[in-house]
Homo-oligomer: A and B are copies of this chain.
Amino acid sequence: MAFSEFHPLDGNSLREYIKTVPSLSSKLGNNFDDLTIKEVGDGNLNFVYIIVSSAGSLVIKQALPYIRCIGESWPMTKERAYFEAMTLKEHGRLSPEHVPEVYHFDRTMSLIAMRYLEPPHIILRKGLIAEIEYPFLAEHIADYMAKTLFFTSLLFRSTTEHKRDVAEFCGNVELCRLTEQVVFSDPYKVSQYNRWTAPYLDRDAEAVREDNLLKLEIAELKSKFIERAQALIHGDLHTGSVMVTRESTQVIDPEFAFYGPMGFDVGAFLGNLILAFFAQDGHANEVNDRKTYKEWILKTIEETWNLFHYKFIALWDEHRNGSGEAYLPEIYNNPEVQLLVQKKYMTDLFHDTLGFGAAKMIRRIVGVAHVEDFESIADASKRATCERRALDLAKTLLKERRKFGGITEVIAAIQQV
């Protein structure tokens, strides 16, 4: 049969592929006459096709054995599609409202077929650049993070389940290594992949490479990223991994998923909102100072953390007599100690969040992959000014994260820049 071994698909072979898979054919009403197939992969890694017929639609994503945006010179296992499909299914089970349904997974072809997030869904990052407010975003993302992180952690699960899944996701090592390199290493050394808004930020990039205290802290976070199997994290939860409408929030692209520290997900999301905040001045002009929108972003940052905290603790309280290994009810069943352990857990998670969030901000300014929030500011000098503000705040957050007592102090620090 034609698809018994891996090969990259194009529009024509994709059509043939769909015909051989009943669950996909039926999604399209078994009607291939009016099929439209559009390649839309604007990410860094994969090919993505939208397939629409008069009777239905779906998205097909195929991983190729290299990084798309760099090419065959940077090989990357296509097995990442397996971990992405596993995580879409697991996170989708835990938070079905915010994860697109998987229709079909083909490991041989490294191919995932899933729900097409129809217009007006757009990538959240583009919405943030376009000054669109999403009134339910904080609530939705908080819900997704609380559920996916809580239910895959030892607060809910036994050690047996935990170690079984940790072992499985150790297989996603190549994607973990990519994160280690581009987030925790490259920005802190001379690397051919690094770039920044030159010449304005030359001195800033150099300062990152010469900051011993920053290097001390990034080392601690890197070790925690590799060593600490706290929960099944998305692994790349920036604003480009979220699709939104006013009412809908959908998390996509968990191919970097593995058992890692929760703060890496929460930090990725908040850190990218902070980047969006600092980019607004670059998008402002005489008729629109974007002041109101900046306030909305700050409110969303604050609410995301507060709602995440609230929902996470609510899940903990609800399941505190369950089979989670971390805090056995026979030991932690008095209100006083319960309060103590929850406070400590959330404080540690908050500081992890600030550290990882800051690391993700820094790498987007002086590392290999930048964000459209800044890239779309045409005036390089203006862009550099925005980026420098974000960078300076990120350095403070990374080095001083343990001094921040709560999210309001972070908001204050952002406003003071």
Residues of A within 8 A of B (CB): 154, 159-160, 162-164, 166-168, 170-171, 173, 176-177, 180, 185, 188-190, 212-213, 215-216, 219-220, 222-223, 226-230, 325-328, 330-332, 334, 336-337, 340-341, 344
Interfacial chain B residues near A188, Cβ < 8 Å: 331
A328 touches B185 (CB 8 A): yes
B159 touches A341 (CB 8 A): no
Q: How far in angstroms is the closest Cβ of chain B from A185?
A: 6
A163 touches B173 (CB 8 A): yes
Interfacial chain B residues near A340, Cβ < 8 Å: 212-213, 215-216
Are A220 and B176 also in contact (CB < 8 A) when A166-B170, A230-B227 are? no
Interfacial chain B residues near A222, Cβ < 8 Å: 325-326
Please, how many angstroms separate the alpha-carbon atoms of A229 and B341 in the complex?
Answer: 23
Are A341 and B219 also in contact (CB < 8 A) when A160-B177, A170-B166 are? yes
Please, how many angstroms separate the alpha-carbon atoms of A154 and B223 in the complex?
Answer: 8
Q: How far in angstroms is the closest Cβ of chain B from A265?
A: 15
Q: How far in angstroms is the closest Cβ of chain B from A209?
A: 8
B159 touches A173 (CB 8 A): yes
Are A344 and B180 also in contact (CB < 8 A) when A166-B166, A185-B328, A325-B226 are? no
Q: How far in angstroms is the closest Cβ of chain B from A241?
A: 22
9 nearest CB pairs, A to B: A167-B170, A189-B330, A163-B170, A167-B167, A212-B337, A163-B173, A189-B331, A188-B331, A227-B229
B226 touches A228 (CB 8 A): no
Number of copies: 2
A219 touches B327 (CB 8 A): yes
Please, how many angstroms separate the alpha-carbon atoms of A220 and B170 in the complex?
Answer: 23
A223 touches B326 (CB 8 A): yes
Interfacial chain B residues near A173, Cβ < 8 Å: 159-160, 163-164
Please, how many angstroms separate the alpha-carbon atoms of A132 and B228 in the complex?
Answer: 41
**Known pairs A159-B176, A228-B228 / 8 extra A-B pairs, C-beta < 8 Å:** A154-B223, A154-B227, A185-B328, A220-B344, A222-B325, A226-B325, A228-B229, A229-B229
Name 28 A/B residue pairs within 8 A (Cβ), A-sorted.
A154-B227, A159-B173, A159-B177, A159-B226, A160-B173, A163-B176, A164-B170, A164-B173, A166-B166, A166-B167, A167-B167, A167-B171, A189-B328, A189-B330, A189-B331, A190-B330, A212-B336, A212-B337, A215-B340, A219-B326, A219-B332, A222-B325, A226-B326, A227-B228, A227-B229, A227-B230, A228-B228, A229-B229
